[in-house]
Structure 1
Amino acid sequence: MVLYDSATSAASSSGSSSSSSYKQPQQQQQQDIDGLLAGAGYKVRSSELRQVAQRLERLEIAMVNSPADFSYLASDAIHYNPSDLASWVDSLLSEFTQPPTCPAEFIMDPVTNQAVVNNAWTSTEPHTPQVHQNISFERQSLNHQLTVVTAMEEDSGIRLVHMLMICAECVQRGDLPLASSLIDDMQRLLTRVNTVCGIGKVAGHFIDALSRRVFQGIGGGSISGGSAYENEILYHHFYEACPYLKFAHFTANQAILEAFDGHDCVHVVDFNLMHGLQWPALIQALALRPGGPPLLRLTGIGPPSPDGRDSLREIGLRLAELARSVNVRFAFRGVAATRLEDVKPWMLQVNPKEAVAVNSIMQLHRLLGSDPTRNSPIETVLSWIRSLNPKIMTVVEQEANHNQPGFLDRFTEALYYYSTMFDSLEACTVQPAKALAEIYIQREIANVVSCEGSARVERHEPLAKWRTRLNGAGFRPLHLGSNAFKQASMLLTLFSAEGYLVEENEGCLTLGWHSRPLIAASAWHAVSDAAAEMPAWDNHQPS
């Protein structure tokens, strides 16, 4: 007999009307919660959180009731996504629901008084040692957890890149409060990824550079790169850690050596002496030249020493000692200048009878800044270089486009370029050279991102733009011959990494990592005004 039909019906009717009045607000509230979860990066609905909690409760009950030792299930893995956590719990629950297994027990047979094996609790495969099963499960569980952690790191890395781009866009349009908020978010997200290598390391440097720009203003405080002594130390370690500077020196030296063929008095003007690392190889090559070595004059330009010592002269003395040991007549002159545009031609004391070579390793891009109060630095310097009538001008520059007027375009290009550069540095096994080389690159990033105006000196441009500029300034290209290509390729055999690649590009050489060129070497010679009207590639063929 049913006693409460009417009451049940009434309650049902009342409940139906009540639920219909609250249904829409409850759905809206659930949607709001889902929106907050999505905004925080969780790929889960609020309705699924109850299922996650139920699974955790089942796991706790299973672990309490299990006689097995499950300490090996402990893990340092942190699950930021509840869906991942639910999957992980399900995998553990499936293990606890397997048929129970335990090692075979030895008991005494009362009839024979001998030990026998009790197989009552053994698995269907008694010959498989239990320890092997435990190891197999442990590996399976560990592999699953590592997969989850790796996926989480990849997801965080992708989010970092997107947030960097959004932050750069905010900086470009002047929304510094939002950029500041994004920087805080990125710094927190950075704790979830590996910052020792990969995108985590690169993102950390770009976050620091954006922070300088946003919180310290354009100029980033002082991104001058530290003292001249610090720059020389970092330059030296960048030289040791990776093949880029070695490639630049070897390629330029080979072109200079070929240009000096048949001349008895030669003069090299080096725009950035930096310990003179480039010139011992050229001195030794000239010593072996058929017919005897020429008289070599070297003029090295570098910053003045802050401590008052004449560091340029000290480098010149070491090079002079080397030249004397291989019977090469040698003369050195140092020119101290803070900026290359401050150098005047008369300071170089070039003799008209000398065969002159001008060498610029990653220096000309520093002259690309504009100043309305004076002439363009790059035009001024190229003009007096041409007045020296050099047999050859060797130019090595970063194969990048970091001189775009729009900040977002420049930032995007820099992020791509330096990600590849840091990727190539992972092939370096020399410490501490690798760590200091990374600081060298980090300072470049800070200048590209944090600075504007005259403070921004890292204005890298690609080879195509340099071709146009140098052709317009009265220079014509010289093909870097097959010898330069062979030497550059042989240089890479000294490095165990297989990712470095030398390529020929219309008479120039590039060195890059896999498919991305990172630096480009080219050679040029000055022509008369009449010859400047002729096509660029008239009669110069590879050697």
Structure 2
Amino acid sequence: MMQFSEILPPTLHQISPFASLTMNKNHLLPARPWPGFPALKSLGRFSNANYMEQLLVHCANAIESNDATLTQQILWVLNNIASPEGDSNQRLTSAILRALIGRAARSGSSKMLSAMANVHSNIAKSTHKFSIIELASFVDITPWHRFGFTAANAAILEAVEGYSIIHIVDLGLTHCMQIPTLIEAIATRLEGPPLVKLTVAGATEDLPPMLDLSYEELGTKLVNFARSRNVTMEFRVIPSSFSDGFASLIEQLRMQQLVNTDKNEALVINCHMLLHYLPDETLSIVSTVIPTSFSVETSTSSSFRTTFLKGLRDLDPTIVVVVDEDADFTSNSLVSRLESAFNYLWIPYDAVDAFLPRGSKQRLWYEDAICWKIDNVIAHEGVQRVERLEQKSRWVQRMTNANFRAVGFIEEGVSDVKSMLDEHAAGWGLKREEDHLVLTWKGHNVVFATAWVAN
């Protein structure tokens, strides 16, 4: 069996994991040495980001090999160097630690692990339901969502110019928070406002951020807002589930296309951070849950993501916008996912330090959402693990395979994004990668925005 001392940084192996409970945490406040940025003077070698990642990885390996003794030892050490009230490194490590504790407690019989799990049982309880005002404020905290809103709206406005009817299918994680800004822009176009049809996929699964309104109530508010801008809007919600690839949504849209012969109607598919919840190849294969009338060729190698995108292509949309987080959480290996999470989710923890005071409600809600994601990625498997992010390059390949062609963002849209970023803390940036836009934090990719037309 691997010795505990073999996995610890120099001198840390000399500390008993049980004696370490009395360690003074005040001297364990490191600076994260990210590439390209000078590290601050380290006040504690033990809590260096690299050491923390190594300990987390070894802990995951111990859990996977059912080594309860080694798991407990590493968990105790991590519990004392990763404070949930510390710097961004420590808070990230603490969240991953709690997810590992939950995973270990469910898979083992150790009373100590069960006790630790009870102490940290609030890790995944991101249960706050936002009011409309709270959610709008939550979305405005960082450009994490606003970047996608701004880029997507610019691409949509360009694509629907001249159409008298615009049908928007909103597949968004933020409950239509993008739509009011789009309505205001549509209302001021030179040829006059069009009729707007808004279809929302009312996902049956609860994902943070959650809203304290029903979709019917939300629809009423959006219709009234559009009316105040002299825009006529029709709102429809289609109860659907990402677990079956939004099959009912695609089928209803297909049926509507059969009876709609108006050539002056634009079909807009707006996908904002929701497609990565569709099951990928590592989880499930296309099965009989897809309606037989769904005109997509299936094979044993297809995923619901592939089927969904081909279903969209059959609808011949005017434009499809895909915005998502640029990371990869699809591996079936716990260690691989842990490393991906550690090297991506430091970003929101680091960024939040720049603009939200500790103890504020907004910061609590913000970090609760991150913790929910971490817990789902680390502590769960199978159908319960829904956070299955893929990098931009993979989505580009998927869209290309589904017979879509990328279209670039116009200069006016890029300028809008840059102006929006000026409203936020220094550190956020924008870069172009071919036809696509990427939001960055201190040079690291965060969120991508892509726009597509039928090839």
Taking structure 2 as the reference length, the TM-score comes to 0.76
Q: Provide the rounded CA distance (Å) in 2 between the counterparts of 1:364 and 1:509.
A: 18
Are positions 1:40 and 2:14 aligned together? yes
Rounded Cα–Cα distance in structure 2 between residues aligned with 1:166 and 1:288: 57
The separation in 2 between residues aligned to 1:79 and 1:312, in whole angstroms, is 49
Structure with a larger share of its residues in helix: 1
Which amino acid in the other structure matches residue 371 of structure 1?
S
Give the secondary-structure state (helix, strand or coil) at the position aligned to 1:343: helix
The aligned residue for residue 5 of structure 1 is: none
Whether 1:321 aligns to 2:224 is yes
- Once the two structures are TM-superposed, the CA of residue 408 in structure 1 deviates from its matched residue by 1.5
How far 1:488 sits from its partner (Å)?
A: 0.8
Contact 1:274–1:302 under 8 Å retained in 2: no
User: Which stretch shifts more, 356-365 or 231-240?
Assistant: 231-240
Q: Aligned partners of 2:202 and 2:176: how far apart in 1? A: 10
Instruction: Tell me what 2:100 maps to.
Output: 210
Partners of 1:77 and 1:298 lie apart in 2 by: 52
Counterpart in the other structure of 1:355: 266
The residue correspondences of 1:170-249 to structure 2 (distance < 5 A) are: 170-190=62-82, 195-217=85-107, 229=129, 238-249=138-149
Cα distance change on mapping 1:270 and 1:373 into 2, 3 Å: closer
1:513 to 419, 428, 441: 441
Identify if the C-alpha distance between structure 1 residues 504 and 231 changes in structure 2 by more than 3 Å, giving closer, same or farther: farther
Corresponding residue SS for 1:405:
coil
2:275 counterpart of 1:364:
yes
Q: Distance in 2 between matches of 1:163 and 1:253?
A: 43
Are 2:343 and 1:416 equivalent residues in the alignment? Answer: yes
**Corresponding letter in the other structure for 1:213:** R
Q: Percent identity?
A: 28
Give secondary structure in 1 for the equivalent of 2:44.
Answer: helix
Q: How big is each residue's C-alpha offset from its partner over 1:355-401, in whole Å with a ceiling of 9 and x where there is no partner?
A: 10101111111113322572621122112211211011100111111
Q: Which of 411, 418, 433 matches 1:489?
A: 418
Amino acid at match of 1:341: F
Whether the 8 Å contact between 2:201 and 2:249 is mirrored in structure 1 is: no
Deviation at 1:341, TM superposition (A): 2.6
Which structure 2 segments of 5+ residues have no match? Answer: 1-9, 17-23, 29-40, 109-116, 207-211, 288-301
Verify the 8 A CA contact 1:271 1:359 in the aligned structure 2.
Answer: yes
Counterparts of 1:231 and 1:358 in 2: how far apart (Å)?
Answer: 26
Structure having greater relative contact order (Cα 8 Å, sep ≥ 6)? 2
Cα offset for 1:180?
3.2
Equivalent position amino acid for 1:502 in 2: L
Deviations 1:103-127 (A, max 9, x none): xxxxxxxxxxxxxxxxxxxxxxxxx
Equivalent residue letter for 2:239: A
Preserved contact between residue 422 and residue 438 of structure 1 (Cα < 8 Å): yes
CA distance in 1, matches of 2:13, 2:204: 54
Change (3 A) 1:41 1:285: same
5 Å-filtered alignment, 1:115-514, equals 151-158=42-49, 159-190=51-82, 195-217=85-107, 229=129, 238-272=138-172, 274-304=174-204, 311-339=214-242, 340-348=245-253, 349-350=256-257, 351-353=260-262, 354-369=265-280, 370-372=283-285, 374=287, 376-429=303-356, 431-495=360-424, 497-514=425-442
**Displacement of 1:520 after TM fit?**
0.4
SS of equivalent residue, structure 1 residue 417: coil
Show structure 1 runs of 5+ residues with no match: 1-35, 43-75, 81-149, 528-543
After TM superposition, the score normalised by the length of structure 1 is 0.64
- Number of equivalenced pairs: 384
The one-letter code matched in structure 1 to 2:332 is: P
Residues 504 and 356 of structure 1, relative CA distance in 2, 3 Å threshold: same
User: What per-residue deviation string (whole Å, max 9, x for no partner) do you get for residues 195-230 of structure 1?
Assistant: 332211111101011111111249x99998766947
